[in-house]
């Protein structure tokens, strides 16, 4: 088994996921990223289903892709229509992509209940549509929709649909588990059966959904049975529970099964591509996602942390660097001293295990965590606490008070103003600013108060702002945790604040963020 082609359908099947809503520009950006990464086929959309997808293909035609072939997706012609008069097929040709993927029905239930046509007419629809597109000079892939369910209900008919597609000249046939319910042993036996009926080198693919929680395994099993094309999506996006996740499939193939669908060099970009797509889709990244998640190589238990320090293989199935990920050792009440020592070492503080300050730091962490703080995403707040225990403080300013006023009159826009009083060294500053919301106004006022004394602040800006309601069932009186990420262009650091008041929680995280940034700048200058 030498080569397996990766067929990405993030932009088409992936966009069916609840919560995803790509703009045309989003789609172009993602296609460019996937091409750069090395994906072989990129399914851009279904021109027959919506105008946004037509616009995508118009733009895509003007781009030269380096690695990928762009594919347009659509259905076989309508029942009782000639192919050259079918609107869907016409739009597929107008999309101008080198590959056209059409799906047809392999399950008698769907032919009868969804299409409401005859079994014979459905075979003609597959035959006609493929022949028509082939005669227009296209590479044509045939997605045998619901193939596994169809095979289980009427094996002969399901196989017949494949045979018709093959004889009509399809360049690849993809067996789809559209409802995502097939079990591993079913995939293995049915896939092997079909494979044995086609020539060895013919491109035969697998397309699975995750409704049973086993889409990735089902794809790998199909490869074991001779699949040489895998269809899936980045981050497992897709209708219902999503499609097979390429972020898991690709590294399993390359690192464990010895299949060079991408090179090891390309694989190192996997995390970057995964996060770029989440960011563009405006989806909250799943931290627990295999290989690419933030937690995928994160060690929390004390026993794991100490073993990892001796040999990473003890608790890591692959080296995180191979997929562009990072090892993290968490600080939490479950963590033993090893974790604290590791984290302290990372920031350049070497402590001995028997140092009493380590114990008092652990106590402090436990107390804060029980209140709702979390240092897993707030490395700078942790470091500030660590340094405080060691006697090093970052008192660049002291808050005397602030007041935030949010006012709405009738239909006018909301006006938000923050005033702030600070002691900065010997100076007392009292100033005010407006903003796009209470936290933004407070941020603006704080910067205004500090910038003449600390011009370095100009290079520091917030890059991420997250709000998490902790005890959501308490409604609007719930406790709120704010996490802020701040950057100076090269470093990024995280800080945390907790309060029942979103503004106070934000202030806390903001104060830490600015103090830590100033402390770093001061250190660099010395």
Q: Binders of a second copy among 137-176, rule CB under 8 A?
A: none
Nearest approach in angstroms of CB 137 to a second copy is 28
Whole-number CA gyration radius for the chain: 28
Position 10 contacts a second copy (CB under 8 A): no
User: Contacting a second copy (CB under 8 A), which of 369, 390, 424, 448?
Assistant: 369
Nearest approach in angstroms of CB 303 to a second copy is 8
User: 198-227: which residues touch a second copy (CB under 8 A)?
Assistant: 210-214, 216-218, 220-221, 224
Q: Is the dihedral of CA 472, 474, 479, 480 positive or negative?
A: positive
Listed ranges 193-201, 331-339, 352-360, 426-434: which one lies at the site for a second copy (CB under 8 A): 331-339
Nearest approach in angstroms of CB 511 to a second copy is 11
User: 456-515: which residues touch a second copy (CB under 8 A)?
Assistant: 461-478, 480, 484, 499-504, 506-507, 510
User: 259-298: which residues touch a second copy (CB under 8 A)?
Assistant: 279, 282, 286-291, 293-298
d(Cα 115, Cα 107) in Å, to the nearest integer?
A: 11
User: Contacting a second copy (CB under 8 A), which of 403, 427, 458, 491?
Assistant: 403
- Asked if 185 contacts 209 with a C-beta cutoff of 8 angstroms, the reply is no
Tokens of 161: 């649909």
Q: Is the dihedral of CA 166, 49, 23, 271 positive or negative?
A: negative
Nearest approach in angstroms of CB 12 to a second copy is 10
Position 347 contacts a second copy (CB under 8 A): no
User: Contacting a second copy (CB under 8 A), which of 29, 49, 67, 431?
Assistant: 49
Q: Which is nearer to a second copy, 384 or 480 (CB)?
A: 480
- Asked if 205 contacts 7 with a C-beta cutoff of 8 angstroms, the reply is yes
Q: Which is nearer to a second copy, 135 or 459 (CB)?
A: 459
Tokens of 447: 């910067």
User: 104-143: which residues touch a second copy (CB under 8 A)?
Assistant: 109-110, 113-114
d(Cα 124, Cα 83) in Å, to the nearest integer?
A: 11
d(Cα 137, Cα 96) in Å, to the nearest integer?
A: 11
Beta-bridge partners for 432: 419
Nearest residue to 231 via CA among 245, 242, 221, 217: 245
- Asked if 210 contacts 238 with a C-beta cutoff of 8 angstroms, the reply is yes
Strand, coil or helix: 483:
strand
User: Contacting a second copy (CB under 8 A), which of 156, 200, 265, 311?
Assistant: 311
Position 228 contacts a second copy (CB under 8 A): no
Nearest approach in angstroms of CB 483 to a second copy is 10
Contacts (Cβ under 8 Å, ≥6 apart) of 85: none
Position 408 contacts a second copy (CB under 8 A): yes
User: Contacting a second copy (CB under 8 A), which of 138, 299, 343, 515?
Assistant: 299
Q: Which is nearer to a second copy, 459 or 461 (CB)?
A: 461
Nearest approach in angstroms of CB 454 to a second copy is 19
Count of residues engaged in binding a second copy, rule: CB under 8 A: 128
Tokens of 283: 């989806």
Position 414 contacts a second copy (CB under 8 A): yes
Nearest approach in angstroms of CB 98 to a second copy is 25
Nearest residue to 403 via CA among 389, 390, 417: 417
Phi, psi of 314, rounded to the nearest 5 degrees: -60, -35
Nearest approach in angstroms of CB 142 to a second copy is 18
- Asked if 253 contacts 266 with a C-beta cutoff of 8 angstroms, the reply is no
Q: Are strands 139-145 and 99-105 parallel, antiparallel or unpaired?
A: parallel
CB atoms < 10 A from the CB of 501, how many? 11
Position 19 contacts a second copy (CB under 8 A): yes
Q: Which is nearer to a second copy, 136 or 502 (CB)?
A: 502
User: Contacting a second copy (CB under 8 A), which of 96, 98, 169, 181?
Assistant: 181
Listed ranges 29-37, 66-74, 311-319, 337-345: which one lies at the site for a second copy (CB under 8 A): 311-319
Position 410 contacts a second copy (CB under 8 A): yes
Q: Which is nearer to a second copy, 31 or 259 (CB)?
A: 259
Phi, psi of 350, rounded to the nearest 5 degrees: -95, 115
Residue 410, judged by CB atoms within 10 A of its CB (0-12, 13-18, 19+), counts as: exposed
d(Cα 18, Cα 157) in Å, to the nearest integer?
A: 33
User: 348-367: which residues touch a second copy (CB under 8 A)?
Assistant: none
């Amino acid at each position: 088994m030498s080569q397996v082609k990766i067929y990405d359908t993030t932009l088409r099947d992936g966009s069916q996921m609840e919560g995803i809503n790509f703009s045309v520009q989003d789609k172009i950006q993602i296609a460019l990223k996937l091409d750069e990464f090395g994906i072989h086929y990129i399914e851009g959309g279904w021109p027959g289903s919506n105008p946004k997808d037509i616009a995508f293909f118009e733009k895509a035609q003007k781009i030269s892709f380096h690695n990928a072939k762009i594919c347009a997706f659509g259905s076989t012609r309508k029942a009782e229509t000639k192919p050259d008069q079918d609107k869907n097929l016409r739009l597929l040709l107008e999309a101008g992509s080198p590959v056209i993927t059409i799906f047809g029905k392999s399950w008698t239930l769907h032919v009868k209940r969804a299409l409401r046509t005859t079994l014979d007419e459905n075979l003609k629809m597959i035959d006609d549509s493929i022949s028509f597109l082939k005669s227009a000079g296209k590479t044509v892939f045939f997605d045998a929709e619901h193939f596994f369910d169809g095979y289980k209900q009427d094996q002969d008919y399901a196989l017949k649909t494949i045979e018709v597609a093959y004889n009509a000249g399809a360049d690849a046939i993809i067996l789809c588990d559209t409802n995502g319910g097939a079990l591993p042993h079913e995939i293995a036996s049915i896939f092997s059966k079909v494979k044995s009926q086609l020539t060895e080198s013919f491109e035969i693919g697998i397309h699975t959904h995750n409704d049973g929680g086993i889409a990735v395994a089902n794809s790998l099993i199909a490869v074991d049975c001779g699949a040489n094309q895998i269809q899936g999506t980045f981050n497992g996006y897709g209708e219902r529970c999503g499609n097979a996740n390429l972020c898991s499939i690709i590294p399993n193939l390359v690192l464990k099964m010895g299949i060079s669908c991408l090179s090891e060099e390309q694989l190192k970009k996997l995390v970057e591509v995964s996060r770029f797509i989440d960011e563009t889709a405006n989806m909250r990244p799943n931290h627990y996602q295999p290989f690419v998640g933030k937690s995928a190589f994160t060690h929390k238990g004390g026993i794991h942390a100490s073993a990892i320090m001796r040999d990473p293989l003890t608790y890591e199935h692959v080296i995180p660097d191979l997929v562009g990920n990072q090892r993290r050792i968490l600080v939490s009440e479950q963590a033993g001293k090893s974790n604290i020592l590791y984290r302290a070492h990372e920031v350049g503080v070497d402590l001995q295990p028997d140092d009493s300050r380590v114990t008092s730091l652990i106590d402090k962490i436990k107390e804060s965590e029980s209140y709702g703080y979390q240092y897993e995403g707030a490395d700078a707040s942790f470091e500030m606490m660590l340094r405080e225990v060691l006697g090093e403080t970052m008192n660049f300013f002291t808050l005397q008070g602030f007041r935030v006023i949010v006012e709405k009159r009738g239909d006018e826009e909301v006006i938000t103003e923050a005033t702030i009083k600070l002691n900065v060294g010997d100076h007392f500053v009292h100033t005010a600013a407006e903003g796009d919301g209470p936290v933004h106004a407070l941020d603006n006022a704080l910067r205004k108060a500090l910038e003449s004394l600390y011009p370095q602040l100009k290079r520091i800006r917030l890059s991420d702002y997250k709000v998490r309601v902790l005890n959501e069932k308490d409604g609007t009186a719930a406790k709120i945790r704010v996490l802020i990420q701040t950057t100076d262009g090269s470093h990024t650091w995280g800080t945390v604040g907790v309060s029942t008041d979103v503004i106070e929680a934000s202030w806390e995280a903001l104060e830490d963020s600015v103090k830590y940034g100033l402390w770093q700048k001061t250190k660099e200058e010395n």
